[in-house]
Chains A and B, each alone.
Chain A
Amino acid sequence: MVKRTGAQILVESLLKENVEVVFGLPGGQALPMFDAIHGSELNFILVRHEQAASHMADGYARSTGKPGIFIVTSGPGATNIVTGLCNAYMDSVPLVGISGQVATSVIGQDAFQEADITGITRPVTKHNFLVKDVNDLAKTLKEAFYIATTGRPGPVLVDIPVDVQRASCEFVYPDKVDIRSYKPNYNGHPIQIKKAAEVINKSERPVFHIGAGIVASNAENEIFEISKKCNIPVTNTLLAIGAYPLDTNLSLGMLGMYGTFCANKVVQAADVVISVGARFNDRCTGEVCEFAKNAKKIHIDIDPTSISKVVDADIPVVGDAKMVLKEMAVFMDNKDRKDWLKAIDAWRTEHPLCYNKNDGKLHPQYVVEKISELTRGEAIVVTEVGQHQMWSAQYYKAKNSRLFLSSGGLGTMGFGYPAGIGAKFGNPDKEVIVVAGDGSFQMNMQEMAVAVLNDIDVKVVILNNQYLGNVRQWQEMFYGKRYSHTCLAKRKKCPKWCNSPKRDTCPVYVPDFLKWAQSYGALGIRVTEKNDVEPALKEMLRTKNSVVLDVWTEIEENVFPMVPVGASLDNIITRMNG
């Protein structure tokens, strides 16, 4: 049999896994891998910052359901992907990351560009490997893919020392994996499922609370069918946006800190909360002891550690959302639940999502509403992190799951733009629009080179409020309007304390996003008036190239409704001073 080097084994293994695209950046301890890539058919995309490579792989994975792959060098290349791994870990996104490492003979000697990356990333990966023998490489890669994509998905890192990349052995890619200590369980316990169904059948005011697990297990149809059959309303987490259709009377929208008034009311009034593939993050529950106080909790999740970690489950069901819901449906009674649905309709109309539509001002919510309208909710919208993220979550009516991508658990500024590029690589036929904050975009905007050079037309709509707006909102509401280091236009000549920003008196904003886009050969458009928003969006959508649409919105707009940190969901604030 012909021998292959470790580097060749890596490339061939990736091809055997049908990897369509790999993101990354080379370096000294990755040279053999990059040499092997050079002579291969692997589609490799050179990024400008390794953090972006990890987010691109993440956006690719979230939008396609397939694992995202990146390759970086040792030391600084590897430490640059820590945020990306943590981000993917928090949101259960399958990634397989490869890092170069110094030669096995010098590991531990503080060699040039040595970093203990398996040590550093242990708490932020589902699993990681340091491969010390080329004979273990193929098997390890197979296991890495298996671990990343099965059970509760997550990122896996494989660290490959440079001498292992160079060493050779026979290459056989295993077709099966058997890890005695890792056997994910997909089937829910039949007794638990039956018990859950009985409790729901007896309930008057049940509500489904669905999370990313619904998307990961492709259970969108199952949750739809079961909720229809039994007339049970459905609220979703940020990561499950699009997983449940919005145009039904059972749909409540998002729950939690920036969720709808209706969803929060319903959960607090429910007698049973059935949580599926969600993990009760504090942004969803508010003050935990007050969360759905009078409700029995049924918790369906593939990860046993999620159950009773934050909220005690009365009936835990460990299993895959799709399989469990299918089996549960058999035991569930049709019920009309008229009174419950009537109460819900009243809450829905009492405080719908709202902003001032009549003052002629350019409110950021309007921009997202227009994007939603013009794309009919069929585009992939990717967000950065901040107010614009919450407005996107509230006003973008995604038609399906995997059409709204956002950094949930980690809340990573700088995620959106590279993730959008990754999503476009996975969905060349779909429109990809990144709704960015002016702050977040600056964290990874250098990746426009990747978009332009690869003819990837990702549209960026910057909701430019000249501020780290989300933080500014908290400073306004809870820190006496002391805007400490949240203004992005502030210059030396500005007064030390300023809490009355105005477009016409504040210093010129830098960078000029138009010139900046132009310097990459992309199209830049600026909008400062409400009336110009729609035509500009249309021009953007017509353009088959990278576009940056810099929208100068109201500076001090706030996100509502809102549940302050540590407050109960009952204490939802629907508007300023109200």
Chain B
Amino acid sequence: MRHTISVLVENKFGVLARISTLFAARGFNIDSLAVGETENPAISSMTIVVKGDDRILEQITKQLNKLIDVIKVNEFNDIEHVERGICLIRIGLNKSNRNEVMNMIEIFRSKIIDVSQSSVIVEVSGSEDKINDFVGKVVPYGIKEMCRTGVIALHRGQSVIEGK
């Protein structure tokens, strides 16, 4: 099962390495990872997506909590939350596919952020599923390049992390 975990950490040198070392050493797989500063520059927020059964998830959360620099760990699966990621894709354009590609971009409410003679760069954002869906749809038109971020997440309603 897929789990999204949010981890608040001290924004210190080496913390990302501690987390990735932990995952590697314990044999847990990271599906995706996104890191950034929070409103408090001393604290970073990481969103980690992992796959595993409940037992593995329990170990991951406990092991993360055990790291001295980890302030708070939250698992999102059981709470209502929003998840977003971004994907940039360069799609090859030619006379025959141009209209269909433009349609697809429209349908997914994605954006064209760069245009050249033979290609466009499209930005899609949304849940992992939505991005996967879009990528699947444009594969036949020829993806020349693509990169995507890990998802980031917040729960809906009140903050569970700081209780505010």
A residues contacting B by CB (< 8 A) are 118-119, 122-123, 126-127, 130, 132, 147, 179-182, 303-305, 307-309, 312
Q: Which residues of B contact A118 (CB under 8 A)?
A: 14
Given A119-B17, A122-B18: A127 touches B68 (CB 8 Å cut-off): yes
Is the pair A181, B17 in contact by a Cβ cutoff of 8 Å?
no
Q: Which of B10, B14, B25, B66 contacts A130 (CB 8 A)?
A: B14
Is the pair A126, B62 in contact by a Cβ cutoff of 8 Å?
no
B residues 2-38 touching A (CB-CB < 8 Å):
9-10, 13-14, 17-18, 21-22, 25
Instruction: Give the distance in Å from the alpha carbon of A147 to the alpha carbon of B69 in the complex.
Output: 12
Q: Is B99 an interface residue (CB 8 A)?
A: no
Q: Which residues of B contact A305 (CB under 8 A)?
A: 59, 62-63, 66
Instruction: Give the distance in Å from the alpha carbon of A309 to the alpha carbon of B26 in the complex.
Output: 11
Count of inter-chain pairs, beta carbons less than 8 A: 39
Instruction: Give the distance in Å from the alpha carbon of A179 to the alpha carbon of B9 in the complex.
Output: 12
Instruction: Give the distance in Å from the alpha carbon of A126 to the alpha carbon of B63 in the complex.
Output: 12
Is the pair B21, A123 in contact by a Cβ cutoff of 8 Å?
yes
**What are 19 A-to-B residue pairs whose CB atoms are below 8 Å?**
A119-B14, A119-B17, A122-B14, A122-B21, A123-B22, A126-B68, A130-B14, A132-B13, A181-B69, A181-B71, A182-B68, A304-B62, A305-B59, A305-B63, A305-B66, A308-B55, A308-B58, A308-B59, A309-B59
Q: Which residues of A contact B62 (CB under 8 A)?
A: 304-305, 307
Is the pair A180, B71 in contact by a Cβ cutoff of 8 Å?
yes
Q: Is B70 an interface residue (CB 8 A)?
A: yes
Please report whether the interface of chain B is mostly helix, strand, loop or mixed according to DSSP: helix
Q: Which residues of B contact A304 (CB under 8 A)?
A: 62, 65-66
Q: In the complex, how many angstroms separate the beta carbon of A553 from the nearest chain B beta carbon?
A: 39
Closest 4 A/B residue pairs (Cβ): A181-B71, A127-B68, A305-B62, A304-B62
B residues contacting A by CB (< 8 A) are 9-10, 13-14, 17-18, 21-22, 25, 55, 58-59, 62-63, 65-66, 68-71
Q: Which residues of B contact A179 (CB under 8 A)?
A: 68
Instruction: Give the distance in Å from the alpha carbon of A208 to the alpha carbon of B71 in the complex.
Output: 34
Is the pair B70, A181 in contact by a Cβ cutoff of 8 Å?
yes
Instruction: Give the distance in Å from the alpha carbon of A312 to the alpha carbon of B10 in the complex.
Output: 32
Q: Which of B13, B22, B25, B66 contacts A303 (CB 8 A)?
A: B66
Q: In the complex, how many angstroms separate the beta carbon of B128 from the nearest chain A beta carbon?
A: 28
Instruction: Give the distance in Å from the alpha carbon of A147 to the alpha carbon of B66 in the complex.
Output: 12
Q: Which residues of A contact B13 (CB under 8 A)?
A: 130, 132
Instruction: Give the distance in Å from the alpha carbon of A179 to the alpha carbon of B10 in the complex.
Output: 10
Instruction: Give the distance in Å from the alpha carbon of A305 to the alpha carbon of B67 in the complex.
Output: 11
Instruction: Give the distance in Å from the alpha carbon of A180 to the alpha carbon of B65 in the complex.
Output: 12
Instruction: Give the distance in Å from the alpha carbon of A122 to the alpha carbon of B58 in the complex.
Output: 22
Instruction: Give the distance in Å from the alpha carbon of A312 to the alpha carbon of B55 in the complex.
Output: 9
Q: Across the interface, name the chain B residue whose C-beta is closest to A304.
A: B62
The winner among B17, B18, B65, B68 for most chain A CB atoms within 10 A is: B68
Instruction: Give the distance in Å from the alpha carbon of A119 to the alpha carbon of B66 in the complex.
Output: 18
Is the pair B10, A181 in contact by a Cβ cutoff of 8 Å?
yes
Is the pair A122, B17 in contact by a Cβ cutoff of 8 Å?
yes
Instruction: Give the distance in Å from the alpha carbon of A308 to the alpha carbon of B57 in the complex.
Output: 12
Is the pair A147, B68 in contact by a Cβ cutoff of 8 Å?
yes
Q: Which residues of A contact B10 (CB under 8 A)?
A: 181
The winner among A179, A182, A307 for most chain B CB atoms within 10 A is: A182
A181-B10, A303-B66 given. 7 additional CB < 8 A pairs?
Answer: A122-B17, A130-B13, A147-B68, A181-B71, A182-B68, A304-B62, A308-B55
Q: In the complex, how many angstroms separate the beta carbon of B38 from the nearest chain A beta carbon?
A: 14
Q: In the complex, how many angstroms separate the beta carbon of A414 from the nearest chain B beta carbon?
A: 24
Q: Which residues of A contact B59 (CB under 8 A)?
A: 305, 308-309
Instruction: Give the distance in Å from the alpha carbon of A204 to the alpha carbon of B155 in the complex.
Output: 47
Q: Which residues of A contact B63 (CB under 8 A)?
A: 305
